[in-house]
């Protein structure tokens, strides 16, 4: 397992008991600039000093299997110039199927140039409600296997 810096964690065993009508934001929204105002005129990070080869790697692992509605759970990655990331730019979205087992892992790459200052995840039940599950998600800065 790779070591994780707590400042790079979006969710640590965050519960996925989610109502269909409400999105749940990751426990942490990460300031990719480390609090520095290194932004261009459009609010994009000029140099976040994170990622590799122009890409940011985001890892999500189910720490408890997901159960609930028949259509699964969406996990979406956003960035924004403000802390309220869910109203910003969605860079990718994954559908986690119902009955996904503990340890199910997703690894996504996002071009750093496309990111705004703040980044976070949103979890949303596709239909119905999530009844069980937990997820951990973080920015991976190692070359090791994330789990």
Res 46: pLDDT: 55
In a domain, 115, yes or no: yes
In a domain, 95, yes or no: yes
- 81-112 confidence digits (pLDDT tens): 888 888 899 999 999 998 899 999 999 999 88
Q: How far apart are CA 79 and CA 86, in angstroms?
A: 8
Contacts of 31 (CB under 8 A, 6+ apart): 117, 118
Res 76: pLDDT: 94
DSSP assignment of 108-124: EEEEGGG-BSEEEEEEE
Query: pTM here?
Result: 0.81
Q: How far apart are CA 24 and CA 18, in angstroms?
A: 7
Contacts of 36 (CB under 8 A, 6+ apart): none
CATH number, domain containing residue 119: 2.60.120.1110
State the residue range of the domain holding 111: 13-135
In a domain, 117, yes or no: yes
In a domain, 143, yes or no: no
Q: What is the tally of structural domains in the chain?
A: 1
Per-residue pLDDT of the chain (147 residues; tens, 9 = 90+): 344 456 789 999 999 888 777 889 999 999 887 655 555 667 665 555 566 777 889 999 999 999 887 688 899 999 998 888 888 999 999 999 988 999 999 999 998 888 888 999 999 888 888 888 999 999 987 655 444
In a domain, 6, yes or no: no
23, 53, 99, 131, 138 from 58: Cα distances, Å = 19, 14, 22, 25, 6
């Amino acid at each position: 397992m790779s070591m994780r810096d707590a400042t790079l964690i979006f969710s640590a065993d965050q519960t996925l008991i989610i109502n269909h009508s409400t999105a749940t934001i990751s426990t942490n929204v990460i300031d990719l600039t480390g609090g520095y105002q290194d932004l261009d005129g459009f609010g994009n990070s000029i140099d976040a000093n994170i990622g590799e080869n122009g890409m940011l790697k985001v890892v999500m692992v189910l720490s408890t299997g997901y159960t609930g509605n028949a259509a699964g759970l969406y996990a979406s990655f956003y960035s924004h110039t403000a802390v309220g990331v869910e109203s910003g730019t969605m860079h990718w979205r994954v559908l986690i199927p119902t009955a996904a087992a503990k340890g199910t892992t997703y690894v996504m790459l996002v071009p750093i140039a496309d990111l705004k200052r703040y980044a976070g995840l949103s979890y949303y039940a596709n239909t119905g409600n999530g009844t069980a599950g937990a997820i951990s998600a973080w920015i991976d800065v190692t070359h090791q296997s994330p789990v």
